[in-house]
Structure 1
Amino acid sequence: MPCYFLSLFKIPASVAAKIERLQRDFLWSGVGEGKRDHLVSWDVVCKPKANGGLGFGKIALRNVALLGKWLWRYPREGSTLWHKVILSIYGSHSNGWDANTIVRWSHRCPWKAIAQVFQEFSKFTRFVVGDGERIRFWEDLWWGDQPLGSQYPRLFRVVTDKNIPISSILGSTHPFSWNFNFRRNLSDPEIEEFECLMRSLDCLHVSFSIPDARSWSLSSSGLFTVKSFFLALSHCSGSHPVFPTKCVWKSQVPFKVKSFVWLVAYKKENTNDLLQLRRPYKALSPDICKLCMRNGESVDHLFLHCPLTMGLWHRLFQLAKMDWVPPRSISDMLSINYNDFGLSERGIVLWQAACIALIWVVWRERNARIF
């Protein structure tokens, strides 16, 4: 699907599902190779590589990230024709920066799809105080980790104007004089909260010579990027288990080997125990490992606990003059950092390459004995 379309319209769930189905089939089956097993769930595949996935990303989240680009551009391109058109049709948001996000037009209207992203988008925007003319004192995120209205709810309930800009409260001289307008005299708890607010604002620095600005909290430059927004949305979509990301993806081995080790770390490689479950008619020798000819074949047994494989691990650690106790699983083995190989970049690269090479050699030997 063209990126331009993704950046203008919100994709219906049914369309996104069809696109993802095509991606899944292509990933596991390729082109013209017939139907194959989908070894890892699509939700895992879509996770960022840092969280154990392949970084494909869900189409719906990528669509949202691309739509967010227009929300970022809108207040920065006030003199452009498209900004003026949107403003004339929908009006301005109460914050003075964005277009009105309450759009009651047809679902085919592009800006309605963009406006629906505003709630997620606004979580990652911060305001940088300049002259204080455009930033709302209580409702915008400009001081601390939450808007001041959320940090000091008692005071927020009794202020007269909840949308008041900073410039209307802050005096022009330093030390600043604050012109708060409350509906009534403050109670004792409210006075304590007010004193806390004043202590917090003691270290505030304001530059009256420059206008207020909005920054993107997910990038060091403060500028919006689709990638950062997309990754943030992906991270927010669920918790992630611990995965040996560095050993798998940072290693200096061919990509096909990295992909293979990624499957091994998830215990999804087609060992005999999994073939018994997926396609029993394809299982070669039930409950037998072709290397030791004694135990059942599983990922942990084949690559870690098989006597032949364990001998290779012991030999590897003997060369490094290290004592070794086999961990419970191959994923634990890939996650452990063995300092005796050295903490330098060279030592880390050496360990990753040696570990992955051993796993790859065991798999090749296993297949050579079967086929």
Structure 2
Amino acid sequence: MLVGVAKRIEKLQRLFFWGEGASKKKLHMVDWNTICKSKANDGLGVGHMLVKNIGLLAKWCWRYGSEVNSLWKRVLCAKYGSDTKDLRWKWGSSTKGSFFINTISRLVNEDSQAAGIIKDGIQVVIGRGDRVCFWEDIKWDSIPLRIAFPRIFALSTTKYGRLLEFGLWQGSNWVWEVPLRRVLIGWEKEQWNCFNFAQSCIKVRKMFSDKVAWSFCPHGLFSVQSFHKCLEGDMRGNRLKSLQIWNNYCPPKVEIFVWNLLKERVLVKDVLSHFGMDLSSNMSCPLCGKCIETVDHLFLQCNWSWNLWLEGLSWWEVSCASNDKLIQWWEGWRGLCPKSKSKSMRAWYSVFYAIVWTVWESRNTHLF
């Protein structure tokens, strides 16, 4: 996908999401990058178009290794002079290649986070060894053998062969035979010993075919979603509060409202004043009329709201001290959630959603 096309699509997405048009503008309560993050990473899961495009291109690298006799692969290999047995995408970008081929080649060969994820994620699973490039596909300590043992690679007489060419079967046992162009001397023998140890750790299985596996999924199959998670850092990041928001315990508009609320992006008077609206003459809470209307006051500290919380807690025969911050109150609410029964958990979270939504509806009724 062209960059200009992706940006145009994202612009249409933003206009739809924020409800804007040619004749009207609205306040953008949350920045677009946050909205595009996955729900597990405190976003809404919309996703950047360019990131999705990179994930789909990465899927072609996966398909190139996992599909052997597919028509599209045979055509590409015949046109660009490659072997259909190859497990990894090894073409570089050139003026002779098509736009599609050059785009994938740049993605794989460039020094970027996406290229690193592709290289680390697509792992070669060794079978009988007829598709595995010995010096390139086999790694020692995450480094290809030709780089891990440069002197042995330089002395080898077969630099581009398959694993099957570097040994033979003696009955049910695989015996390594790496041909060298001369006898080793001095320090080379030490590297040769390390090389032999690395070979002994490689398991060749006569009855299985070579294949690729996606290391970022338990089942070993590539998915664009798992690629996005790696690119976004979900697999290394913290599981944030949003994990407990998106559980279909209430209508989607209420879930999105709670998401905005916990990020303090609800249009209370204090937030509106930060956007430049002059509300200095009437900043008080519409429910109690005593304090400035902030997110924490309106939904937690206000006497009217606090009575709702006490009533909701009384249904469960739970007593709890008040809190000054809504986000801390939410974390405490999660901590008190029943763990044993799913119906009880659903009801417990529904009480939280119902109370904050009731407060917001009552506030708007008082104002409008």
TM-score class normalised by the smaller sequence: 0.7 to 0.9
Partner of 2:251: 254
Shift of the alpha carbon at 1:284? 8.0
2:106 to 107, 116, 120: 116
The answer to whether the Cα contact below 8 Å between 2:74 and 2:84 also exists between their aligned partners in 1 is: no
Partner of 1:61: 51
Alignment of 1:368 with 2:346, yes or no, is no
The CA RMSD over aligned residues, in Å, is: 3.4
Partner of 1:11: 2
CA distance in 2, matches of 1:102, 1:215: 23
Shift of the alpha carbon at 1:22? 1.8
CA distance in 1, matches of 2:92, 2:26: 46
CA distance in 1, matches of 2:331, 2:30: 20
Of 208-217 and 71-80, more deviation after overlay is shown by: 71-80
- Rate the CA distance shift 1:270–1:285 in 2: closer, same or farther, 3 A: farther
- Rate the CA distance shift 1:163–1:297 in 2: closer, same or farther, 3 A: farther
In structure 2, stretches of 5+ residues that fail to align are: 110-114
Where does 1:99-110 land on structure 2 (aligned, <5 Å)?
100-105=90-95, 109-110=99-100
Partner of 1:7: none
Shift of the alpha carbon at 1:37? 1.1
SS, match of residue 214 in structure 1: strand
- Rate the CA distance shift 1:304–1:140 in 2: closer, same or farther, 3 A: farther
Of 29-38 and 114-123, more deviation after overlay is shown by: 29-38
Residues 184-231 of structure 1 show CA distances to partners (whole Å, capped at 9, x for unaligned) of 4547974785586467x2xx5432133211122233443333333233
The answer to whether the Cα contact below 8 Å between 1:272 and 1:284 also exists between their aligned partners in 2 is: no
Residues 78-124 of structure 1 show CA distances to partners (whole Å, capped at 9, x for unaligned) of 54443333223333389933454212127972211122232523331
The answer to whether the Cα contact below 8 Å between 2:66 and 2:211 also exists between their aligned partners in 1 is: no
1:134 to 128, 131, 136: 131
Where does 1:325-344 land on structure 2 (aligned, <5 Å)?
325-336=321-332, 337-339=334-336, 341-344=338-341
Q: TM-score scaled by structure 1? A: 0.81
Partner of 2:81: 91
The answer to whether the Cα contact below 8 Å between 1:126 and 1:141 also exists between their aligned partners in 2 is: no
Residues 225-267 of structure 1 show CA distances to partners (whole Å, capped at 9, x for unaligned) of 333323333337x986653223311141111111111110111
Partner of 2:297: 301
The answer to whether the Cα contact below 8 Å between 1:341 and 1:351 also exists between their aligned partners in 2 is: yes
SS, match of residue 177 in structure 2: coil
In structure 1, stretches of 5+ residues that fail to align are: 1-9
Shift of the alpha carbon at 1:320? 2.4
SS, match of residue 328 in structure 2: helix
- Rate the CA distance shift 1:142–1:131 in 2: closer, same or farther, 3 A: farther
Partner of 2:267: 270
The answer to whether the Cα contact below 8 Å between 1:91 and 1:100 also exists between their aligned partners in 2 is: no
Shift of the alpha carbon at 1:271? 0.9
1:208 to 203, 206, 211: 206
CA distance in 2, matches of 1:211, 1:239: 32
Shift of the alpha carbon at 1:316? 2.6
Of 211-220 and 38-47, more deviation after overlay is shown by: 211-220
Partner of 2:286: 290
Q: TM-score scaled by structure 2? A: 0.81
Residues 322-345 of structure 1 show CA distances to partners (whole Å, capped at 9, x for unaligned) of 332334532233334234645321
Of 98-107 and 45-54, more deviation after overlay is shown by: 98-107
Q: Which amino acid aligns with 1:233?
A: L
Of 159-168 and 113-122, more deviation after overlay is shown by: 159-168
Partner of 1:3: none
Where does 1:220-259 land on structure 2 (aligned, <5 Å)?
220-235=218-233, 243-259=240-256
CA distance in 2, matches of 1:197, 1:208: 19
Alignment of 1:218 with 2:209, yes or no, is no
- Rate the CA distance shift 1:335–1:285 in 2: closer, same or farther, 3 A: farther
Alignment of 1:320 with 2:310, yes or no, is no
SS, match of residue 34 in structure 2: helix
The answer to whether the Cα contact below 8 Å between 2:69 and 2:84 also exists between their aligned partners in 1 is: no
Alignment of 1:71 with 2:61, yes or no, is yes
Q: Which amino acid aligns with 2:256?
A: S
Shift of the alpha carbon at 1:346? 1.9
SS, match of residue 285 in structure 2: coil
Q: Which amino acid aligns with 2:266?
A: E
- Rate the CA distance shift 1:328–1:280 in 2: closer, same or farther, 3 A: same
Q: Which amino acid aligns with 1:319?
A: W
CA distance in 2, matches of 1:95, 1:118: 19
CA distance in 1, matches of 2:304, 2:52: 46
Partner of 2:35: 45
- Rate the CA distance shift 1:106–1:62 in 2: closer, same or farther, 3 A: farther
